[in-house]
C-alpha cells in the first residue's frame, strides 16, 4: 500500500471553510460599510484568497502520495499552514482600524495580488520540483530561471508579500502581530529546515552563493 499523508489537504479544507464562515460573520458585522460602492471589497478579497487556495489545491493533492520521497519537514509544514491560516482568520475576525473604505484598502489588495502572482510565478517556474513538503525527488535539479534568478525562495517571499497586503487591508493590531511575530518567523524557520535538505543537492551551494534567500540585499 502506498504511503499517504493527507494533512496538507485536511489543512487546506479547514482554511477554506474557515474563510467562508468568517467572511459571512464579517459581512453581518459590517453591514453598510461598503454601501456607497457597487461591491463589497471584503467579500471580493476573501474570494480572491479562496481562488488562490484553489490554484494551490493541486499541489496539496500531489503531496498526499509520499511513497519513495524523503521528507524532512520536522512538522514545519503544519506550523506554516497554521500560521498562514490564523493570519487571515484574525484579519477577518478582528475590527479594522480603518473605519471606512479608503486608499489603504486598494493599496493592500494590490500588494496582496502582487505577492500571490509572484508566488505562483515561482511555483510555476519550479514545476515538478515544487512541493509544500520538504522533500527530494529523483533527478532533482536546481532551477535558475524566472524569479530564481534573483533569490533562492521566491515562493516564500510571495507569501510574505501577500500577507503584508492582508495586514494593510484589514489593518488591526492582532493581525499585524501575528504576521510579524508568528508568520514571518515560521517562514524563516521553514527556510532554515528546507535548506538543510537543499544543500545536499549537487550544485545548490553554488546556486545559493550569489542569491539572498527572500529579498535581494536583505536576507
Q: What is the pLDDT of residues 157-195, one digit of tens each?
A: 999 999 999 999 999 999 999 999 999 999 999 999 989
Kindly state the helix (H) or strand (E) to which residue 71 belongs, with its residue range. strand 70-71
- Rounded Cα–Cα distance for residues 57 and 51 (Å): 10
- pLDDT, the chain, mean: 86
**pLDDT at residue number 200:** 84
In this predicted structure, what is the pLDDT of residue 66?
53
pLDDT of residue 76: 76
Q: For each of the domains in the chain, give its residue range(s) and CATH number, in order of start.
A: 7-209 (1.20.120.1630)
d(CA 1, CA 105): 50
The H-or-E segment that residue 70 falls in is: strand 70-71
* pLDDT value, residue 182: 97
Exposed/middle/buried for 76, CB within 10 Å: 0-12, 13-18, 19+?
A: buried
pLDDT for residue 143: 84
pLDDT at 146: 93
Query: Which residues in the chain come in under a pLDDT of 50?
Result: 1-2, 67-68
Q: Measured between alpha carbons, how far is 8 from 16 in angstroms, rounded to an integer? A: 12
> What is the Cβ-side half-sphere exposure of residue 13, based on CA atoms within 13 angstroms?
5
Residue 128 DSSP one-character state: G
From residue 195, how far is each of 46, 129, 208 by CA, in Å? Answer: 32, 14, 10
| pLDDT score of 141 | 75
Q: Are 97 and 172 in contact (CB under 8 A)?
A: yes
Q: Are strands 70-71 and 135-136 parallel, antiparallel or unpaired?
A: antiparallel
Q: What is the reported pLDDT for 53? A: 92
Amino acid at each position: 500500500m502506498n504511503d499517504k499523508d493527507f494533512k496538507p489537504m485536511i489543512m487546506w479544507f479547514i482554511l477554506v471553510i474557515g474563510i467562508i464562515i468568517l467572511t459571512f460573520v464579517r459581512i453581518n458585522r459590517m453591514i453598510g460599510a461598503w454601501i456607497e460602492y457597487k461591491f463589497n471589497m471584503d467579500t471580493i478579497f476573501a474570494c480572491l484568497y479562496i481562488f488562490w487556495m484553489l490554484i494551490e489545491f493541486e499541489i496539496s493533492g500531489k503531496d498526499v502520495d509520499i511513497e519513495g520521497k524523503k521528507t524532512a519537514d520536522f512538522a514545519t509544514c503544519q506550523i506554516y499552514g497554521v500560521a498562514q491560516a490564523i493570519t487571515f482568520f484574525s484579519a477577518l475576525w478582528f475590527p479594522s482600524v480603518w473605519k471606512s473604505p479608503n486608499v489603504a484598502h486598494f493599496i493592500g489588495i494590490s500588494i496582496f495580488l502582487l505577492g500571490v502572482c509572484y508566488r505562483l510565478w515561482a511555483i510555476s517556474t519550479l514545476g515538478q520540483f515544487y512541493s509544500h513538503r520538504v522533500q527530494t525527488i529523483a533527478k532533482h535539479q536546481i532551477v535558475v530561471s524566472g524569479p530564481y534568478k534573483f533569490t533562492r525562495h521566491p515562493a516564500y517571499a510571495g507569501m510574505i508579500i501577500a500577507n503584508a497586503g492582508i495586514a494593510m487591508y484589514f489593518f488591526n493590531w492582532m493581525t499585524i502581530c501575528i504576521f510579524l511575530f508568528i508568520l514571518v518567523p515560521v517562514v524563516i524557520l521553514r527556510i532554515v529546515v528546507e535548506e538543510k535538505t537543499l544543500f545536499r543537492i549537487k550544485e545548490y551551494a553554488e546556486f545559493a552563493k550569489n542569491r539572498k534567500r527572500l529579498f535581494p540585499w536583505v536576507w
